[in-house]
Amino acid sequence: EADIYQTPRYLVIGTGKKITLECSQTMGHDKMYWYQQDPGMELHLIHYSYGVNSTEKGDLSSESTVSRIRTEHFPLTLESARPSHTSQYLCASSSPGLAGGLQYNEQFFGPGTRLTVL
Amino acid sequence: KNQVEQSPQSLIILEGKNCTLQCNYTVSPFSNLRWYKQDTGRGPVSLTIMTFSENTKSNGRYTATLDADTKQSSLHITASQLSDSASYICVVFDRGSTLGRLYFGRGTQLTVWP
């Protein structure tokens, strides 16, 4: 069982509100990720981090921002939420590993935050 | 373009029956392929990871196969249980990326009926 936590699990807010989705992991992983997932669709990478003070945008354009001040903490912020931001947000962290002589990154996912913006 | 395609999109089976889910990918260079199980409202949980040198890997009632030549994988579930109802996601890891980029399929939604 991976030790990665997300809060809140569910959030319903009005348009224009500022929100922060929390993600914490206790595994000491350097790499962390934020994904967005709509029902029946694949996960899309929106942000990632190689380590403290490192953040990059992912494949899917997002109006959200992230920060990485501590290894274990990777919060995502929406300055002004809109209905188009309604989605599930999944946080993940990864550890290096070897399989068949090749390196891979085993990603562990949090339980997700289901965001609804009215 | 790197893609991961899964079929069927959804599947309903009776408890105790077997089923097989398919995954085709075009990701290159290929490093490994993973199958994840995602319960409704939860994050994905890894079932198996296979490199290009592995043809099959089992995890309890789950058996994954990989044909790196044809870029196809399957996940076979034996003696299904109600708790197997979930989305099963095929994920391919691109070793050409220092990030460790994962390409996700849309998943097969499996429903097991009593």
pLDDT in tens, A45-59: 999 998 999 999 988
pLDDT of residue A7: 96
Kindly list the distances between the CA atom of residue B99 and the CA atoms of A5, A33, A52, A74, B95, in Å, as whole numbers in the listed order: 22, 10, 15, 17, 9
Lowest mean pLDDT among A75-84, A95-104, B84-93: A95-104
A104/B31 CB distance under 8 A = yes
Mutation target for A interface from B31, B34, B36, B89: give the one with most A CBs within 10 A: B31
B47-100 residue pLDDT tens: 998 888 889 999 999 999 999 899 999 999 999 999 999 999 999 987 766 666
**Residue B43 is nearest to which of A42, A94, A110, comparing CB atoms?**
A110
Mean pLDDT of chain B: 91
pLDDT tier, A81 (very low <50, low <70, confident <90, very high otherwise): very high
Contact between A103 and B95 using a beta-carbon 8 Å cutoff: yes
Under DSSP, the state recorded for A84 is G
Position with higher pLDDT, A88 vs B40: A88
Distance CA A109, CA A94 (A): 9
pLDDT at B86: 97
Confidence at residue B99, expressed as pLDDT on a 0 to 100 scale? 61
R_g over Cα of chain B? 14
SS3 of residue A83 by DSSP: helix
Distance from CA of A68 to the nearest CA of B (A): 16
Whether residue B42 and residue A111 make contact (CB cut-off 8 A), yes or no, is yes
B91 contacts B49 by C-beta, under 8 angstroms: no
Which structure tokens are listed for B2?
């790197």
In a mutational test of the B interface, the residue from A103, A104, A115 whose CB has the highest number of chain B CBs within 10 Å is A104
Count the Cβ atoms, other than its own, within 10 Å of residue A84: 9
Q: Write down the pLDDT at residue A1.
A: 53
Place of tokens 């999109």: B9
Pick the residue with more confidence: A104 or A44? A44
**How far is residue B104's CA from residue A45's CA, in Å, rounded to a whole number?**
10
What is the pLDDT at residue B100? 65
